[in-house]
Amino acid sequence: MAKYYICLDIGGTKVLGAVFNEKREIVHRIKKKTKASGDDSQNIENTIISVVEELLSEFKIDIKDVSAIAAGAPGVINIEKGIVLFSPNLPWKNYEIKKAIENKFKVPFFIGNDVNVGVYGEWKYGAAKGKKQVVGLFVGTGMGAGLILDGKLFTGYNDKGAECGHMILDPEGPKCNCGQRGCLEAFSSKQGIIDYIRTQVSRGRECTLDKAAKKGILKSKALKTAYDEGDEVAIEAVDRACHYLAIGVGNLINTFSPEVVILGGGVIESMGDVFLSKVLKEVDRYCMPSIRDTVTIANAALGDDSILYGSLAMIDDMLKK
């Protein structure tokens, strides 16, 4: 019987992969950069295949030792068919990734929206364990959300729901990769932060992150360093992102009355408690006191591994069916 599980976190700039053993422990991991530009969908697929192959090779196991592969990826995903219908941060549209990976490795492959999967991981193994009503917002290259309602992962009709990162906060606001304007993602994601810094630099302001912003590639750790060193534009960009994130969190608290709101993703992880503390200072302005009183807001406990653990939980659920 196969003893291992391979889980993937597919992002706009990287693919993180891990091998889990039967005890649900990560025993090996690797990360590879991706180039998710233009319409080169094959590039991302090749990176995924490369990550899986290197995990097998480096950990010295055969694909026959693997029960299944699972992944979280950004976008609207048909879970049952394993088709990425649309992804604002990857060059995938109606992309049959399940078929491609299963044809390559001959083991079951499952895929879900990355933040749905990440929040599911936090619910099964992390900060939301034991809760029945959970809202999760993950701040990365984009902005995703996940909902646990009445003790079940909510994905909406045809798995198209929970796109809370695309709630529109200002219809005249900055353009989002989804095609709309003024989405929470356009303000509070890393892409939103990059766009703000780029705009300020174009106006003649100095910023230590100007070169990264111009290239459109900003590492979260570099943002944290600039913030800690007092870079005025970087601080403004973070404050702006947190302001709109607090508005988004307030709207979600009013809508769902969750027990806990989980903040996760690469930006949150790298910035420590910066985002959490700023959101906590502002969020009360944007939600009803009687609802806010029963809600805890916390950072994800699993950090960068939330999506990996969620993928593992997805494997457990799917193999039982």
Same fold, 4-118+305-320 and 131-300: yes
Structural contact between residues 226 and 207, judged by C-beta atoms closer than 8 angstroms = yes
Structural contact between residues 241 and 188, judged by C-beta atoms closer than 8 angstroms = yes
**The domain 4-118+305-320 is classified under which CATH number: 3.40.50.10860, 3.40.30.10, 3.30.420.40, 2.60.120.340?**
3.30.420.40
CA 121 to chain centre: 12
How many whole angstroms separate alpha carbon 63 and alpha carbon 61?
7
Q: Where are the domains of the chain?
A: 4-118+305-320, 131-300
Instruction: Give per-residue burial for 147-183: e unless 16+ CB within 10 Å, then b.
Output: bbeeeebebeeebeebbbbbbebeeebbebbbebebb
Q: Residue 39: is its pLDDT beyond 60?
A: no
pLDDT band, residue 50 (cuts 50/70/90): very high
Structural contact between residues 36 and 98, judged by C-beta atoms closer than 8 angstroms = no
What letter does residue 141 receive in the DSSP assignment? Answer: S
Q: Residue 209: is its pLDDT beyond 60?
A: yes
Q: Taking residues 169-175, report their average pLDDT.
A: 96
Nearest alpha-carbon partner for 275 in 162, 190, 208: 190
Nearest alpha-carbon partner for 7 in 314, 312, 313, 317: 312
For the chain, percent of residues with pLDDT exceeding 70: 97
**The domain 131-300 is classified under which CATH number: 3.20.20.80, 3.30.420.40, 3.90.25.10, 3.30.565.10?**
3.30.420.40
- pLDDT for res 171: 96
pLDDT tens-digit profile of 286-321?
999 999 999 999 999 998 899 999 999 999 999 887
- pLDDT for res 44: 83
Structure-block tokens of residue 188: 């509070």
